[in-house]
Structure 1
C-alpha cells in the first residue's frame, strides 16, 4: 500500500495523542477513587494494565519484534476477562451472572487455542477479536436492557456504566473489521497498512477515552431519578 509520507506522520502523531489522552480518565479515576464503585475500580485497573502492555509492547518491538503480537494476545485475553468481571458486578440477574462465568471459561479456552494453534502467536488473533467484540457488545446491550427495565435513571449521560457501555459498543463495533482483515490483506512487513490500522484504532480509542473520562467524572454523584 502506497501512502503519502505526510499522512503516515499524521497517523503516528494521532496514535501518540491517543496514548496520552488515557491519562485524563486515569487522573479522574485516582481522584475519585474513594467514591468509585467496584466496577469502576476495575475499569481503572484495566486502564493501568493497558498502559503497561503498551509500554511492554514498545520494548518488545525494539528487541524481539517477532513476539510483539504475543503481547497483544495476552492483552486481548485479560482485557476481555476484566470486562466480564465488570459486567458480572454490574448486571443484577443471577442467570446472566452464571452465563458470564461460563463465557469467561469458554473464551479463555478459545483464545488460547487461537493463539497456540489456529492463528499462532506471530500474527494478530483476529478470530479471538471477533468473538471478544461479539461478547462484550452483547453484555453492553444487556446493561442497556437492564437500565430500560429498571427505569430509575432519566439522565443516562450521567450514568457511569452507561457511558462505559457506550464506549464498549463504539470501540468494539468500530475495530472488529480491522482485526478481521489485517491478516488477510496486509503482509507482515507492510508498514503502511499496519500504520493505517493502528491509526483507525487510535481514533476510536480517543472517543473511548473521552467516554471513560466522563464516566469517572460522574462517578459518585447522585443520579437524577424519575421521582425527582
Structure 2
C-alpha cells in the first residue's frame, strides 16, 4: 500500500495520543477508587493493564519485534475476561449469570486454540477478535435491555455502566472488520497498511476512553445508580 509520508506521520501521532489519553480515565479511576463499585474498580484495573501492555509493547517492538503481536494475544484474552466479569456483576438475569462461567471457559479455550494453532502467535488473532466483539457487544446490548425493563435510571448519560456499555458497542463494532481483514489485506512487512489499521483503532479508542472517563466522573454522583458487587 502506497501512503504519503505525511499521512504516516499523522497516523503515528494519533496512535501516540491514544496511548496517552488512556491516562485520563485511569487517573479518574484511581482518584475516585474509594467511591467506585466493584465493576468500575475492575475497569480501572483493565485500564492499568492496558497502559502496562502499551509500555511493554513499545519495548518488545524495539528489541524483540517478532514477539510484538504475541503480546496483544494475551491482551485480548485478559481484556475479554475482565469485561465478562464486569457484566457478570452487572446483569441481573439468573440464567445469564449461570451461563457466563461456561462462556469464560469456552472463550479461553478458543483464544488459546487460535493463538497456538489456527492463526499462530505471529499474526493478529482475528478469529478471537470476532468472537470477542460478538460476546461483548451482545452483553452490552443485554445491559441496555435491562435498563429499559427496570426503568430505574432517569438520566442515561450519567449512568456509568451505560457509558461503559456504549463505549464497548462503539469500539468493538468499529474495529471488528479491521481485525477480520488485517491478516488478509496486508503482508506482515507492510508497515503502511498496519499503521493505518492501528490508527483507525486508535481513533475509536479515543472515543472509548472519553466515555470511560465520563463513567468514572459520574460514578457515585447519581443516586439512581446502584451496582451489584
State TM-score, norm by structure 2. Answer: 0.97
Map Cα deviations across residues 91-142 of structure 1 (whole Å, 9 max, x no partner).
1111111111111100000000000000000100000000000000000001
Residue aligning to 1:46: 46
1:222 deviation in Å? 2.4
Structure 1 residues 206-217: aligned runs within 5 Å: 206-217=206-217
Map Cα deviations across residues 153-178 of structure 1 (whole Å, 9 max, x no partner).
12000000000000000000000000
Residue aligning to 2:125: 125
Map Cα deviations across residues 179-222 of structure 1 (whole Å, 9 max, x no partner).
00000010000000000000000000000000000000000012
Residue aligning to 2:179: 179
2:18 matches 1:21: no
CA–CA separation in structure 1 for the residues paired with 2:189 and 2:29: 39
State TM-score, norm by structure 1. Answer: 0.97
Residue aligning to 1:83: 83
Residue aligning to 1:219: 219
1:224 deviation in Å? 5.1
SS across alignment from 1:165:
helix
Structure 1 residues 53-202: aligned runs within 5 Å: 53-202=53-202
Cα RMSD of the aligned pairs, angstroms, is 0.9
User: Is residue 144–residue 162 contact of structure 2 (8 Å, CA) maintained in 1?
Assistant: yes
User: Is residue 158–residue 223 contact of structure 1 (8 Å, CA) maintained in 2?
Assistant: no
Gaps of 5+ in 1: none
Gaps of 5+ in 2: none
CA–CA separation in structure 2 for the residues paired with 1:94 and 1:221: 28
CA–CA separation in structure 2 for the residues paired with 1:151 and 1:194: 44
SS across alignment from 1:123:
coil
